[in-house]
């Protein structure tokens, strides 16, 4: 448990250090934001302030389609014409690089193993760009999305860009129909999802203790990450980091995946 705590502190300290050492004016770069008010004395803008500290991030504050949201299941509409989502891996395993971004644990697939999704609410084919894990220090506060007011210990976000219309992620993220994010809630259990276990086992996670650490993982089967269901909730929203572009179709899978308590702690 001591090791676990050290990592938590290190990640948070990095956020504070990079933002408190410089004057305000030079802080207004893309890296300067945070999810939580980690230390009272240190002014790192949290989501409700993102739009106020940088005018290029206005959408974060005044946007009308901002994610994440609280999903009220009683307000949902069943659409009988929505087809299941199609995952296309061409039957191949993939490799990718795990990063500690200082804010998330992230996996970027290498360019040799392309994974596409299409179908469902998507009118185009979207290529997987990044898998981002969100965790909280408390069990019910790790997920970004909330279901009927209830949070989850974590949330996996598979971030894809529209490869039919755009050359790359940077172009797509600011453009219409640019992004599709598949979101899967994470719950705690005795057993761990096979894919997440590759990302979060002790051997992997100790190699990315520090911000900007990276580690290569091979032989991953992305299909293992998806729960066994074809049901999902979908809505049009935004990316959840500044500048909060409202270009994202969200697909929230109707079943969670599981990790062990230890894995959540280690990766916060």
Ligand X SMILES: *[C@@H]1O[C@H](CO)[C@@H](O)[C@H](O)[C@H]1NC(C)=O
Provide the annotated active-site residues.
166
Nearer to ligand X, 134 or 160 (CB): 160
Give burial (CB, 10 Å; 0-12/13-18/19+) of 114.
middle
**Site for ligand X, rule CB under 6 A:** 88-90, 114-116, 125, 127, 163, 167-168, 170-171
Nearer to ligand X, 114 or 165 (CB): 114
The minimum distance between CB 182 and ligand X, in angstroms, equals 15
Nearer to ligand X, 115 or 205 (CB): 115
The minimum distance between CB 153 and ligand X, in angstroms, equals 31
SS3 for the chain is CHHHHHHHHHHHHHHHHHHHCCCHHHHCCCCCCCCCCCCCCCCCCCHHHHHHHCHHHHHHHHCCCCCCCEECHHHCCCCCCCCCEEEECCCCCEEEEEEECCCCEEEEECCCCCCEEEECCEEEEEEEEEEEEEECCCHHHCCCCEECCECCCEEEEEEEEECCCCCCHHHHHCCCCCEEEEEEEEEECCCCCHHHHHHHCHHHHHHHCCCCCEEEEEEECHHHHCCCCCCEEEEEECCCCCCCCCCEEEEEECCCEEECHHHHHHHC
Residues 6 or more apart in contact with residue 1 via CB below 8 angstroms: 265
Nearer to ligand X, 86 or 202 (CB): 86
The minimum distance between CB 90 and ligand X, in angstroms, equals 4
Nearer to ligand X, 21 or 112 (CB): 112
The minimum distance between CB 215 and ligand X, in angstroms, equals 22
The minimum distance between CB 164 and ligand X, in angstroms, equals 7
């Amino acid at each position: 448990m001591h090791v676990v705590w050290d990592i938590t502190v290190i990640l948070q300290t990095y956020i504070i250090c990079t933002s408190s050492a410089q004057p305000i004016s030079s802080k207004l770069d893309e890296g300067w934001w945070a999810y939580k008010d980690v230390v009272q004395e240190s002014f790192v803008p949290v989501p409700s302030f993102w739009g106020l500290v940088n005018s290029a991030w206005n959408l974060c504050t005044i946007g009308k389609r901002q994610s994440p949201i609280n999903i009220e299941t009683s307000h949902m509409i069943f659409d009988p014409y929505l087809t299941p989502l199609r995952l296309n891996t061409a039957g191949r395993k993939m490799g990718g690089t795990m990063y500690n971004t200082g804010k998330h644990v992230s996996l970027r697939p290498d360019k040799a193993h392309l994974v596409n999704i299409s179908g469902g609410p998507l009118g185009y084919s979207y290529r997987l760009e990044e898998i981002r894990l969100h965790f909280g220090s408390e069990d019910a506060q790790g997920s970004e999305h909330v279901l009927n007011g209830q949070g989850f210990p974590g949330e996996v976000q598979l971030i894809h860009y529209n490869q039919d219309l755009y050359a790359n992620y940077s172009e797509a993220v600011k453009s219409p129909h640019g992004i599709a994010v598949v979101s899967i809630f994470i719950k705690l259990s005795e057993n761990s999802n096979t894919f997440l276990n590759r990302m979060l086992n002790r051997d992997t996670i100790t190699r990315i203790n520090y911000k900007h650490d990276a580690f290569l993982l091979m032989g991953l089967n992305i299909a293992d990450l998806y729960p066994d269901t074809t049901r999902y909730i979908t809505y049009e929203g935004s990316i959840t980091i500044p500048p909060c572009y409202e270009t994202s179709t969200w697909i929230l899978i109707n079943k969670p995946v599981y990790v062990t308590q230890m894995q959540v702690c280690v990766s916060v």
